Amino acid sequence: MNFRAEQERSCSALFSLTSQSISAMKTLSVLFFTMLFSSNLWAQDIRHEVVKRDSTSGFFESGHFHFHSRTYLMGTYNRDELSDYGAWAVGAGLGYVSPEWKHFSFGFSGFFIFKLWEHNLNKRDPSTGGTNRYEIALFDMEDPENNTDLDRLEELFIKYRRGPWSLIAGRQHIETPFLNGQDNRMRPNIFSGLWTEWEEDNFKWEAGWLNSVTPRGTVNWFDLEESMGVYSFGRNVDGSASQYKGNTSTAGIFILGGHYERPSWKFHTYHYYTENIFHLSYGDAMYQYSKGEESKWFIGTQWLYQQQVQEGGHPDPQKSYIQRNESTWGSGATVGSRQGHHTWSYNMLYLHDSGRFVFPREWGREKFWVSLPRERFEGAGGVFAQSIKWEVDWFGESLHSMLGAGWVMHPDPQQSALNKYGQPSFYHIAAQMDYDFSFPLAGLKFSGLLVYKGNAEGHPIPDPIAINRVDLWHYSVVIDYVF
């Protein structure tokens, strides 16, 4: 069936269905948000907003309200007769940050999403039995048939700030190299727990204990142990299907991070301790050399080490998240230059074949320098990856573009001891553009992404392994507005 023709028919039918099935108030809201095109405040961390009280008004009136909405069109074209996929989502939300009183403040936010159109989102591919990979995370992965009840309370925190130190308790947005918002869909991950930061001069320290999360692509809150397995859970090292979903036991994750930055040097280090499951240590360092104001050269290195602790999540290896005595390490590097508005970089990553690097995908996406959009390295060991990136700022930095090409060599997809999700080797081309409008359309932002992933195995890949992994085109179109 012609995908584009069906897209037009389905979109028209679903607009009609939406207007008939939801209340008049929500219908008017959706139309209003669609006219506004949407917004990008979903990525803003309101924890760090400091609101000074206006003495001429009441306490609550002195706070800041934020309105945000977002529209997202996404599609994937697989090879030959394999199924293609597409989806269109629109959503909006409201946030509030109070002024400080005796060093205390609080904030909250919420968001709702509507599914305007989808193609094959809930259907298995007839020839392979494969399911959708990318587009489903725009909505509710737990209930793909849910078209309208896609709302959730997100941030809800109280904050104490005194000088360079702050303490935040409750539901909040957290950004670290591995546990983060991974906010490249409609909504980011939001975590709940206790978080503290201290920042002064060139140093910053942060630490926290987190025990629950609402993952991207869901509308519910989960204890951290319950969240593991909401996404695809892959295979054990012996090739059997992983059974850690619903069987994992942990009290939460402790994170300790440190940052030190000078004009020429930058250092970052993090340690993650997931009780009863694993330790993960990470660090990076970058040196930057300037030749005048318009020319800079940089070189950097990053590394990680991970090992299983206690039961790995469960005493039965078939139900544990990480296998008994499993450990691995990895290292990466970058080198490049910034010449005026142009930045070039060559990046690489090596993950050792002593074990698989694993980190729950429900908690974030790893931030390696080699990474390109729409792929990750979690679940693999014995990996060597390279990428080249060219980034340019145009029109006074209103337009930012990125063109990247990568080559990722994975172990054989059948080698489950080093390839948890059966990912074949691939080459990767990605083009990305972000444009921020100026007055009178300040706050309006357009983003586009086009990706091609090809087969780098050197031999044909069977359809069940290739679908949604290689030999595909993928696009995303986002138009944002914020005020």
Which of 369, 356, 324 is CA-nearest to residue 422?
A: 356
The predicted pLDDT at position 22 comes to 37
Distance from C-alpha of 108 to C-alpha of 36, rounded to nearest angstrom: 23
Chain-centroid distance, C-alpha 320: 25
- Enter the DSSP assignment of 128: T
- Enter the DSSP assignment of 381: -
Answer yes or no: are the C-beta atoms of 105 and 69 closer than 8 Å: no
| Phi/psi of residue 370, nearest 5 degrees | -75, -15
Q: 286 CB contacts (<8 Å, ≥6 apart)? A: 265, 266, 298, 299, 300, 301, 334
Distance from C-alpha of 95 to C-alpha of 106, rounded to nearest angstrom: 11
Q: How far is CA 191 from CA 116, 137, 153, 173, 239, in A?
A: 28, 17, 12, 6, 32
Q: Residue 7: in which H helix or E strand, if any?
A: helix 3-21
The predicted pLDDT at position 14 comes to 38
What the block records as the tokens of 41 is 């405040």
Cα-based angle 124, 129, 130 (whole degrees, multiple of 5): 75
Per-residue confidence in pLDDT tens, the chain, 483 aa:
444 444 444 444 333 333 333 333 343 343 343 333 333 334 456 777 777 665 556 778 888 998 888 999 999 999 999 999 999 999 999 999 999 999 999 999 999 999 999 999 999 999 999 999 999 999 999 888 888 779 999 999 999 999 999 999 999 999 999 999 998 899 999 999 999 999 998 999 999 999 999 999 999 999 999 999 999 889 999 999 999 999 999 999 999 999 999 989 999 999 999 999 999 999 999 999 988 777 899 999 999 999 999 999 999 999 999 988 899 999 999 999 999 999 999 999 999 999 999 999 999 999 999 999 999 999 999 999 999 999 999 988 899 999 999 999 999 999 999 999 999 999 999 999 999 988 788 888 999 999 999 999 989 999 999 999 999 999 999 998 888
Which of 481, 418, 483 is CA-nearest to residue 90?
A: 481
The predicted pLDDT at position 341 comes to 92
Q: Cα-atom radius of gyration of the chain, to the nearest Å?
A: 23
